[in-house]
Amino acid sequence: MTCDRLVCANCAGPVNEGRCSVCRAHRERMHQESGPFSLASLPPAALAALLITLIAVALLARQAAV
């Protein structure tokens, strides 16, 4: 999730502009939570594709071991 379209309840301005202390605090928290390895930043379809790929690799590895 990005703060591009979020509106601050305190100042009614866009959060990404950081007009008030509430905006700046929320923007900082959003940037800390979304690191380069954060799964929360992936869309649900990408998470589902990643899960299906991992299951397929696990099944192939299991068959190769037999």
The answer to whether residues 1 and 14 belong to one domain is yes
The phi, psi pair for 14, rounded to 5°, reads -65, 135
Q: What is the mean pLDDT of residues 57-61?
A: 96
Supply the pTM of this predicted model. 0.46
Among 38-42, 47-51, 57-61, the range scoring the smallest mean pLDDT is 38-42
The answer to whether residues 63 and 47 belong to one domain is yes
The answer to whether residues 49 and 63 belong to one domain is yes
The answer to whether residues 2 and 30 belong to one domain is yes
pLDDT number for residue 41: 64
The answer to whether residues 24 and 1 belong to one domain is yes
Give the length of the chain.
Answer: 66
Residues 2-39: tens digit of each pLDDT: 667 888 889 998 888 888 999 888 888 877 766 655 65
8 Å CB contact between 42 and 54: no
Q: Is the pLDDT of residue 61 over 90?
A: yes
Q: Total domain count for the chain?
A: 2
Among 15, 43, 12, which residue's Cα sits nearest to residue 27? 15
Q: What is the DSSP-derived secondary structure letter of residue 48?
A: H
Range of the domain at 8: 1-34
pLDDT number for residue 55: 97
